[in-house]
Structure 1
Amino acid sequence: MDVNAHVRRLWRHRGTTVPAPRRGPRQQLDLDEILLTGISLADADGLAAVSTRAIAARLGRSAMALYPYVGSKEELLALMQDHASAMPAWADPGGSLTADLQAWSVALYEVYLAHPWLAGRPWSQATQGPHEQDWLERLLRIFDGWQVPPRSRPSAVTMLYATVRATAETTAAYRRMTREGATVWREQAAATREQIPDLADRYPLSTGLEPLTPDWQQNPRAALTGAVDLLAAALEAG
């Protein structure tokens, strides 16, 4: 892996220059176009559908023609990950820490829903690219503006990212669930109650837990909102 070349590709719109192919005509392909093609494949069919061969086929090129532009397969995925993570424009409400954290969390949640494969990329594979850095910097500015104690910030960052990723991943899974799959889930729940008639006695708290919303598909988003409210309240309490 040529680390310097990879960093230059990641930060190409923030002051670096993309390495040019060493042989042949210069810059026959556009890196952004390559990445958008890969993102389109991943959005439709998951990361398993992404390969230099598949991207090249859509661009009318050979797989070998892409290597000088993206590097290895893992470098390609990292470039796609950062490119797909571009932060949309939004204004922090500014009325409270809770409102600002809700705005940040929902914005990131929507990005993960638009590109469900992002939440499946391990944290150990953070790109260290500009778009991912934008999210963290925006979050820390919110903490700074509301004077969240520095000692609380690392844990709060982890809790927010983990909650957004988990709820977005669950929402995406619910969206992929077919009507047949939902029916099987309900049938199994009913069969469990029938086969274990004292289930409520064994597990009174978990069986008595009320859903956040009547629509089960909306529960992950409602859970995100509730979790952010709880965290903001804890941070405000010091």
Structure 2
Amino acid sequence: MMTNPNRDADAHVRRLWRHRGTTLPTPRRGPRQQLDLDDILDTGIAIADAEGLAAVSTRAVAAAFGKSAMALYPYVGTKENLLSLMQDQASAMPAWEDPGTTLAEALSAWALALHGVYLAHPWLTERPWSQATQGPHEQDWMERLLRILEDWAVAPRARPPAVTMLYATVRATAGTDAAYRRMSGDGAGEWLEVARATRQRIPDLADRYPLSTSLAPLTPQWQDAPRAALIAGVHLVARALATG
């Protein structure tokens, strides 16, 4: 016997896909809705961008409209639903042209575009993969990546690990890049002070760790290292796919 679908899940999916063919759920009773869902999500995204994900709550978002937290429920559902809707909305894919020259360049264009979205909304990297939205914007990124792999005849068995490696690399480098951009001159100075103190207190550090202490940086400017690492990492994955 078939069971009824979860009404909360159904309402959430309708909100996620509201611009791609579904209709928004509306309450059967009560006052007519006065807020716009896109405006609500944009407000939540603005709070997260400015103050971090921890600052986002239904109360904080509702207060921007002069409403109570409970008044927001008919529009977004639970707080987790709100965060999921914000996540998908903030993940909207910008337009870019595929280079079409090599697999490495095509994957780099995809990775750098996603990296840019994560830099614009650093809190996106804090949302675990277990909380993927299953919404249209996140689906756009996956489909675009798989289309690149398909166009370049990457073996089907290699696609799942390639997807994992590429997403993980973009998320990690974007998170580090965002942290570097937030770091003040004082923060960088403190790091250098610890490095100098370590060399003084551990004079044989290079003998103990010869490989790590002799590792050459990818770029002279440490602030540029995450982006450089992203590009280099994507090219490594592309070479592995080409030879696999």
TM-score by length of 2: 0.96
- The corresponding residue for 1:206 is 212
Name the SS for the 1:2 alignment partner. Answer: helix
Matched, 1:97 2:103: yes
Q: Which residue of 2 aligns with 1:168?
A: 174
Q: Which residue of the other structure, out of 107, 110, 124, is the alignment partner of 1:118?
A: 124
| Structure 1 residue aligned with 2:40 | 34
The counterpart of 1:68, out of the listed 46, 54, 74, is 74
Counterpart residue type for residue 119 of structure 1: T
Shift of 1:28: 1.0
Match of 1:192 among 180, 184, 198: 198
Q: Distance in 2 between matches of 1:106 and 1:30?
A: 32
Moved over 2 A (4+): 21-27
- Separation of aligned partners in 2, 1:99 and 1:188: 38
Choose the corresponding residue for 1:137, options 119, 138, 143: 143
1:155 to 147, 157, 161: 161
User: Are positions 1:83 and 2:53 aligned together?
Assistant: no
Q: 2:64: which partner in 1? A: 58
Residue 215 of structure 1 corresponds to 221
Q: Alignment partner of 2:64: what SS?
A: helix
Is 1:47–2:73 an aligned residue pair?
Answer: no
Instruction: Name 1:2's counterpart in structure 2.
Output: 8
Q: Does 1:21 align with 2:27?
A: yes
How far has the Cα of 1:64 moved from its partner?
1.8
Q: Distance in 2 between matches of 1:46 and 1:22?
A: 35
1:154 shift after superposition = 0.1
How far did residue 24 of structure 1 move?
2.9
5+ unaligned residues in a row in structure 2: which ranges? 1-6
Q: Please identify, of 172-181 and 214-223, the stretch whose mean Cα deviation from structure 2 is larger.
A: 172-181
Aligned equivalents of 1:120 and 1:96: distance in 2? Answer: 32
Residue identity in the other structure for 1:155: P
Shift of 1:25: 3.4
Shift of 1:63: 1.8
8 Å contact 1:21–1:69 — kept in the other structure?
no
Most deviating of 28-37 and 17-26: 17-26
What are the Cα deviations for residues 72-91 of structure 1, in whole angstroms up to 9, with x where unaligned? 00000000000000000111
CA offset digits 1:93-144 (Å, max 9, x no partner): 1111111100000000000000000000000000000100000000000000
Deviation at 1:180, TM superposition (A): 1.3
Work out the CA distance in 1 between the residues paired with 2:201 and 2:68. Answer: 58
Q: Identity of counterpart residues, as a percentage?
A: 73
**Unaligned 5+ residue runs, structure 1?**
none
- Whether contact under 8 Å (1:10, 1:79) holds in the other structure is yes
1:177-228 alpha-carbon deviations (Å, 9 max, x no partner):
1211111100000000000000001111100011111110100000000001
1:226 paired to 2:232: yes
For 2:105 and 2:32, how far apart are their aligned partners in 1?
Answer: 48
